[in-house]
């Protein structure tokens, strides 16, 4: 990827409007920082290392991260579909363009992001699987009652903590805080 292509992609990501919520993730801030960096090799590699590190919860797979982030993003597009409201044409067009950007992101690899860096030492790797977000998101819109949206698309189980509903990543984790009663003692 050329420096001009990197800057263009950084600008496109910075301009997200429908899926703007995914910019809150460390993965996206590291990626945008890397794409827009004019810094030296050390700075670029540091941002790239931060980007790869942030993928650890998604098994170091960028497309898995994007699926999780995009499908759990609570935005006006998915809310309108869930409420069976009319979706303004500008909203639909913006959403499709942004989903096309996410699809392009699933074609990136280490060489695309670090190919311009003149460094012959260790550079971390990450996985990525080509994903057509326009198609898969359309399926989610059509089946929003089945898949849910926002926090409810992020997990199959939830727990309540105070007044907050939180997704449960693993059933085993949710029971680690419980003390089991003694059934018999010797």
pTM equals 0.80
* 95-105 CB burial, b ≥16 within 10 A, e <16: beebbeebbeb
Map residue 134 onto helix, strand or coil.
Answer: helix
What percentage of the chain reaches a pLDDT higher than 70?
80
C-beta separation of 169 from 155 below 8 A: yes
pLDDT digits 0-9 by tens, 74-86: 999 999 998 899 9
Q: What average pLDDT does the structure give for the chain?
A: 86
Contacts of 81 (CB under 8 A, 6+ apart): 87, 141, 144
- By mean pLDDT, which of 11-15, 34-38, 126-130, 141-145 is the weakest? 141-145
pLDDT digits 0-9 by tens, 153-170: 545 565 677 876 555 665
Q: What is the pLDDT of residue 167?
A: 57
pLDDT digits 0-9 by tens, 86-142: 999 999 999 999 999 999 999 999 999 998 888 999 999 999 999 999 999 999 998
C-beta separation of 106 from 183 below 8 A: no
Q: Above 80 in pLDDT, residue 174?
A: no
* 144-175 CB burial, b ≥16 within 10 A, e <16: beeebbeeebbeeeeeeeeeeeeeeeeeeeee
According to DSSP, residue 84 is labeled T
DSSP H helices, 15-57, are 26-36, 41-54
C-beta separation of 153 from 72 below 8 A: yes
CA–CA gap between residue 58 and residue 56 (Å, rounded): 5
CA–CA gap between residue 113 and residue 48 (Å, rounded): 8
CA–CA gap between residue 71 and residue 113 (Å, rounded): 24
């Amino acid at each position: 990827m050329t420096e001009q292509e990197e800057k263009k992609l950084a600008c496109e990501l910075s301009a997200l409007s429908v899926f703007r919520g995914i910019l809150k993730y460390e993965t996206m801030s590291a990626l945008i920082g890397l794409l827009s960096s004019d810094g030296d090799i050390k700075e670029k590699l540091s941002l790239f290392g931060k980007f790869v590190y942030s993928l650890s919860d998604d098994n170091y797979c960028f497309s898995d991260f994007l699926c999780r982030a995009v499908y759990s993003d609570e935005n006006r597009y998915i809310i309108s579909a869930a409420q069976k409201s009319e979706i303004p044409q500008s909203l639909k067009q913006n959403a499709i363009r942004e989903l096309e950007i996410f699809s392009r992101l699933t074609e990136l690899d280490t060489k695309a992001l670090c190919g311009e860096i003149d460094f012959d030492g260790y550079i971390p790797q990450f996985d990525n699987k080509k994903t057509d977000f326009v198609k898969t998101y359309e399926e989610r819109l059509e089946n929003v009652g089945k898949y849910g949206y926002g926090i409810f698309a992020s997990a199959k189980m939830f727990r309540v903590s105070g007044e907050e509903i939180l997704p449960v990543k693993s059933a085993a984790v949710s029971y680690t805080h419980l003390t089991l009663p003694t059934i018999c003692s010797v």
